[in-house]
Copies of this chain bind each other. A is one copy, B any other.
Amino acid sequence: MAGGIYVFDTTLRDGTQGEGISLSADDKIKIARKLDKLGVHYIEGGNPGSNNKDIEFFKRVKELKLNAKLTAFGSTRRKNIAVEQDGNLQRIVESGVPAATLVGKAWDFHVHTALQTTLEENLSMIYDSFAYLKQYGMEAIYDAEHFFDGFKNNPDYALAALRKAHEAGADWLVLCDTNGGTLPNEIRDIVARVRNELNAPIGIHTHNDCELAVANTLAAVQAGATQIQGTINGYGERCGNANLCSIIPNLQLKMQYHCIADEQMQQLTSVARYVSEIANAHMPVGQPFVGSAAFAHKGGIHVSAVMKDSKTYEHIAPELVGNKQRVLVSELAGQSNIISKAQEMGLDVNANNEHTKSIIDKIKDLEHQGYQFEGADASLELLLREAFGQTKEIFRLESFKMLVEKSAGQMMSEAIVKVNVDGQTVYTAAEGNGPVNALDNALRKALVQFYPDIMGVVLSDYKVRVIDEKDATAAKVRVMIESTDFDNTWSTVGVSDNIIEASWEALVDSIRYALLGSEKQESEQATRGQLGLVNH
């Protein structure tokens, strides 16, 4: 064990500076609870001097009795006033938190250009502000803004800023790469030099402008920093803050530092996804450690090796961070992906069998036409079940008709479907909010009398992509639909040069998949009576 590291989470403060990230006091409470379960040591809740939402948060969060230490954020006192006159610092003390972080300049250029004061006044601002916090018995953390740029430009002044905070009683000196422009070897060298000059606990706060925030944090820890500041999923201004979801497992699983308990580490994936939901921020499938594709295998040779030993193409066991292995199917894949998928489904397949080979050829051919099964597991499963004679015909389309009309500025979309269910022809129509919605409504309406379960299924996502753009509006489109019954989620695909037909294909697969295990309803009349449908 190389040593203990304090995890300082600033998702609720610096994370909200990210474009499109906005959290209510309620959202912040929910996230704080999760962060506490994850085992972070500090939760920076916000800036009580800057807005009322954060004041409300600090009031409410106290009731949660968290294990993590709550910290409030602010700046060193304004120039040329007494510290007692600084309203923002008063708000921090009033918020009743046990710890506070104050940002203060450490780059002489910023003192002149942004602050527009003297180097001496900035040092007094630092000293006065930390002495003020310590007077109230608070734990005091100095975020030395632009420390690395400052050190490169004027090392004596950057160190003088740290010394002032230290003399005033600051408990932590946190070196910030505020603009995110510093390289890992520079970080390592400068942190080591600071450690030679000052005997104080050192923290590191990096930004991702060079795609190096994680590496920079690791380099600082290797040089002796013991507090790491960052955010869940790396949210933050511009290119984001250092991503704790990558830093924590790197430090603990690869470098033998201790950050959180092993059971807490197993919650990392669910915490990351939860926070992305609350923040309404799209999580990239390929996000390291916690993304849904982080342990997904696509290449055929890779898949066959992973089936022999997952260590062949996985750098850690995904379960350590609460994630799991997935196998994708695609044109690049040899047959092993398809075979493992079929085996998952309990189908009896064999790579040397002619039948299996013909199924693989069929899938490859469909992919060549533009189908993509890696994101459409349910369509693939239907295809495999069909090949093995394990599907029943739920219904057969006789015809559909779509009508979209714009008249007097109003849009109207209507679908008419004629389907055959078990020998019976159902002919029905429905309106919708757009053509695909109308088609979906009409199809459900036709089937509900036989399969009432389909009313519990909703489409949760709809994607369209033009496959070959050469012919513009006459080009092929691929439609992907995601559906859910609130227990399970599944995806289906359709391809055609007609967007309505492609949507129809994906819709039909979605409903066929939903009804795989359903039995046809016997009391047809009762159901139809209830819903008042007259379809024939």
Contacts and interface: CB of A to CB of B under 8 A. Distances in A.
Contacts of A239: 286-288, 291, 293-294
Nearest to A306: B114
A208 B284 CA distance: 13
A211 B209 contact: no
A490 B282 CA distance: 21
A117 interface: no
B469 A473 contact: no
A294 B238 contact: yes
B472 A219 contact: no
Contacts of A222: 185
A465 interface: yes
A246 B305 contact: no
A332 B51 contact: yes
Interface string A268-301: 0000000000001010111111010111111101
A535 interface: no
Contact of A210 (B22, B315, B408): B315
A107 to B, nearest CB: 9
A296 B238 contact: yes
A122 interface: no
A425 B72 CA distance: 55
Interface string A443-467: 0000000000000001111111111
Interface string A57-69: 0000000000000
Contacts of A403: 401-403
Contacts of A304: 114
B280 A282 contact: no
Interface stretch (A34-42, A173-181, A343-351): A173-181
Given A437-B473, A461-B472, A184 B219 contact: yes
B498 A473 contact: no
B474 A469 contact: no
A265 interface: no
Contacts of A238: 286, 293-297
Contacts of A168: none
Contacts of A436: 473, 499
Nearest to A458: B472
A113 B309 contact: yes
A200 interface: no
Q: Which of A215, A397, A461, A503 has the most CB of B within 10 A?
A: A215
A19 interface: yes
B458 A17 contact: no
A230 B117 CA distance: 46
Interface in A239-264: 239-240, 243, 246, 249-250, 254-255
Interface string A314-355: 111000000000001011100000000000000000000000
A222 B212 CA distance: 15
Nearest to A14: B299
Given A237-B299, A500-B435, A332 B17 contact: yes
Contacts of A375: 19-20
Interface string A416-441: 00000000000000001111110010
Given A294-B239, A404-B402, A472-B458, A53 B498 contact: no
A116 to B, nearest CB: 8
Nearest to A398: B407
A183 interface: yes
Contact of A400 (B26, B240, B405, B465): B405
Interface string A225-242: 000000000001111100
Contacts of A498: 404, 411, 413, 433-435
A374 B470 CA distance: 22
7 contacts: A24-B467, A26-B469, A110-B312, A114-B312, A183-B254, A401-B404, A459-B473
List the 10 closest pairs (A to B, CB-CB), nearest first: A181-B315, A215-B215, A459-B472, A114-B305, A211-B246, A399-B407, A433-B474, A402-B404, A464-B464, A437-B473
Given A19-B374, A239-B291, A400-B405, 4 more contacts: A26-B470, A238-B293, A240-B286, A460-B472
Interface of A: 16-20, 22, 24, 26, 50-53, 75, 109-110, 113-114, 178-181, 183-185, 208-212, 214-216, 218-219, 222, 236-240, 243, 246, 249-250, 254-255, 280, 282, 284-289, 291, 293-299, 301-302, 304-305, 308-309, 311-316, 328, 330-332, 368, 372, 374-375, 397-408, 411, 413, 432-437, 440, 458-475, 477, 481-482, 496-501, 503-504
